[in-house]
Structures are given as structure tokens and as C-alpha cells.
């Protein structure tokens, strides 16, 4: 089985990639930084991936979307699982956001998953067990002050994922949306240095959900996981 994971150079994407490697998936890893991706390639091979390839690409560039799919298929021979995890956040009052910032965040968080799904569809249709997992966020449902651009982009991804799931259902493609609250990664360290990492959801918990989704059997499907921190934030 072959998986393409964006945002695989660190954080949640890296942890998901290594979980999939341990399940025996061949993995194609996307991020901007070649050196960090190469390190994850080595980790994935050590974790059990029969093959692992690094595809450095800036998903802020729309042309990268079809390119990463075609290079994955060339390298691995097909595509069974797509995990759209790359993302970037932006903090600040909506009064200060610029059109350039808005475009940059939307390009990576909303446009890239949309056009990667579009490019991947013909390959996924050839798979016996095609799955797409989009990593959005609780901010794709809720509104928190000073996260207007980030939240808007994740609402866009959430909306797209719901429509995409319906449109590809006739082809037997399972589509899942995972919407985590704060996860202990560099992203949160940069946005919320006031929160201790041990107070946050761990990236391994998200990877466990991915493992569950790709290994479970049965005719029922699970559309989405909305994961909030257990302590302190009930009904936030
Ligand atoms: N951490 C959280 O609390 C949290 C909560 C909910 C949802 N999420 C979502 O989960 C996903 C992963 O977040 P994370 O916390 O693991 O963040 P992270 O540690 O900052 O990792 C982000 C990943 O995205 C890649 N990326 C960013 N911009 C890119 C671009 N222009 N082109 C290609 N790759 C790019 C980065 O690779 P390079 O730097 O090498 O390009 C990196 O691999 C994101 O979509 C995020 O919005 C995170």
C-alpha cells in the first residue's frame, strides 16, 4: 500500500508518516525542507516502510499539487492513501491581516488539499482500498479571537472535505476529516508559548486515529474526529 503524506517533515505529519511506515506502507513525504524530509525518510525505512521517498515542494505554489501526486505514483507505483496534513497558522487581530497573509495561509491550508485531491482522484480510483484523510482543526468549526485567517482557511478545508466525500463516494473512496485541538508541535510552541507541551494532545494520539481509520474493517465509516483537550476546555 502506498501513502502520500504532506507536512511530513515534522509535527503531526511526521508522526503519521512513521505510524504508516510501521504498518508497512510505502510512504511519499512532502514538505519544503529537503534535509528534514531526508531524515524522516531514514526514520520511515527504519520503522518498516518498504520504500520511502522525499518530495520537497512548496504547496503555496499551485503547480506543486499535481507534481507531488505524479512523482509519488512514479516512485511508488500507485496511491492508496492520501493524508493532507501540511498547514500553517497565523495569529493576530483580523484588523491587522493583509491580503498577502490571507492568500499565503489559504494557499497551503485550503487550496493545496483541494487540488491534491483533484490530482489524486484518478490514482485513488485504481486502488482497492482508497482513503483520504484531511487534517483540519477545531478552528474549522469554532471561532477563537485572533485566529481569523487560520480559522477561515480551516473552515474552507472542512467544507471542501464534506463535498469531496460525497462526490467520491460512488468510487468507494473513504474520506475522513480529523479536527484536532492544540497538539504539542512546533506550530503551537510558536503560537502559544504559554501552554506547556504536556498539557496538549500528543501527535502520537492523532497518528493512532489514523492507524484506526486505515486498519478498521466493516461497512460503517467514520466521517470525522473532533478532538479537544480533555482537561479544562470542556464545551469551549
Ligand atoms: N499543532 C496543533 O495544535 C494543530 C491543531 C489542529 C490542527 N493542526 C493542523 O495539523 C497540521 C500539522 O500541524 P503541526 O502542528 O504538525 O505543524 P508543524 O509542526 O508546523 O508542521 C507543519 C508541516 O507543514 C509543512 N508545510 C508548511 N507550509 C508548507 C508549504 N508551504 N509547503 C509544503 N509544506 C508546508 C511543514 O514542512 P516544511 O516546514 O518543511 O515546509 C511541516 O511539515 C496543520 O495542517 C495544522 O493546521 C495542528
Q: Could you tell me the pTM of the whole model?
A: 0.97
- Mean pLDDT value across the chain: 95
Q: Which of 4, 5, 6, 7 to mutate to test the pocket of ligand 1 (most atoms within 8 A of CB)?
A: 7
Domains of the chain: 2-227 (3.40.50.720)
Contact at 8 Å (CB) between 197 and 184?
Answer: yes
What is residue 186's predicted lDDT score, i.e. its pLDDT?
A: 94
**Residues in contact with ligand 1 (CB, 6 Å cut-off):** 7-13, 31-33, 36, 57-60, 85-89, 108, 135, 137, 180, 182-183, 185-188
pLDDT tens track for 106-152: 999 999 999 999 999 999 999 999 999 999 999 999 999 999 999 99
pLDDT grade, residue 234 (50/70/90)?
A: very low
The cell numbers describing 151, all together, are 480559522
Contact at 8 Å (CB) between 96 and 146?
Answer: no
* 146: region left, alpha or beta (phi > 0 left; psi from -120 to 50 alpha): left
What is residue 236's predicted lDDT score, i.e. its pLDDT?
A: 54
* 206: region left, alpha or beta (phi > 0 left; psi from -120 to 50 alpha): alpha
Cell 480533555, residue?
230
Q: Which of 61, 86, 184 to mutate to test the pocket of ligand 1 (most atoms within 8 A of CB)?
A: 86
What is residue 220's predicted lDDT score, i.e. its pLDDT?
A: 86
Mean pLDDT of 187-204: 89
Check residues 199 and 1 and name the one with the higher pLDDT.
1
Q: Is the pLDDT of residue 235 over 70?
A: no
**Buried residues in 11-42 as b, exposed as e (16+ CB within 10 A):** bbbbbbbbbbbebebbbbbbbbeeebbeebbe
Check residues 220 and 234 and name the one with the higher pLDDT.
220
pLDDT grade, residue 70 (50/70/90)?
A: very high
| Rounded Cα distance, 228 and 137, in Å | 10
What is residue 199's predicted lDDT score, i.e. its pLDDT?
A: 87
| Rounded Cα distance, 92 and 100, in Å | 14
Contact at 8 Å (CB) between 65 and 112?
Answer: yes
Amino acid at each position: 500500500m502506498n501513502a502520500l503524506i504532506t507536512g511530513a517533515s515534522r509535527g503531526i505529519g511526521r508522526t503519521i508518516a512513521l505510524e504508516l511506515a510501521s504498518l508497512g506502507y510505502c510512504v511519499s513525504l512532502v514538505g519544503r525542507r529537503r534535509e528534514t524530509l531526508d531524515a524522516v525518510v531514514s526514520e520511515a525505512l527504519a520503522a518498516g516502510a518498504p520504500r520511502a521517498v522525499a518530495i520537497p515542494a512548496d504547496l503555496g505554489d499551485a503547480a506543486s499539487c499535481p507534481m507531488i501526486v505524479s512523482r509519488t505514483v512514479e516512485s511508488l507505483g500507485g496511491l492508496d492513501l492520501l493524508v493532507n496534513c501540511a498547514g500553517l497558522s497565523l495569529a493576530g487581530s483580523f484588523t491587522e491581516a493583509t491580503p498577502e497573509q490571507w492568500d499565503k495561509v489559504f494557499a497551503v491550508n485550503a487550496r493545496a488539499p483541494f487540488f491534491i485531491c483533484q490530482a489524486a482522484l484518478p490514482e485513488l480510483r485504481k486502488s482497492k482500498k482508497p482513503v483520504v484523510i484531511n487534517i483540519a482543526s477545531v478552528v474549522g468549526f469554532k471561532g477563537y479571537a485572533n485566529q481569523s485567517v487560520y480559522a477561515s482557511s480551516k473552515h474552507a478545508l472542512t467544507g471542501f472535505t464534506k463535498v469531496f466525500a460525497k462526490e467520491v463516494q460512488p468510487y468507494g473512496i473513504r474520506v475522513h476529516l480529523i479536527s484536532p485541538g492544540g497538539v504539542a508541535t512546533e506550530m503551537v510552541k510558536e503560537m502559544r508559548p504559554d501552554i506547556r507541551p504536556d498539557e496538549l494532545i500528543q501527535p502520537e494520539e492523532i497518528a493512532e486515529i489514523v492507524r484506526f481509520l486505515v486498519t478498521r474493517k466493516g461497512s460503517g465509516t467514520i466521517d470525522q474526529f473532533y478532538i479537544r483537550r480533555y482537561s479544562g476546555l470542556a464545551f469551549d
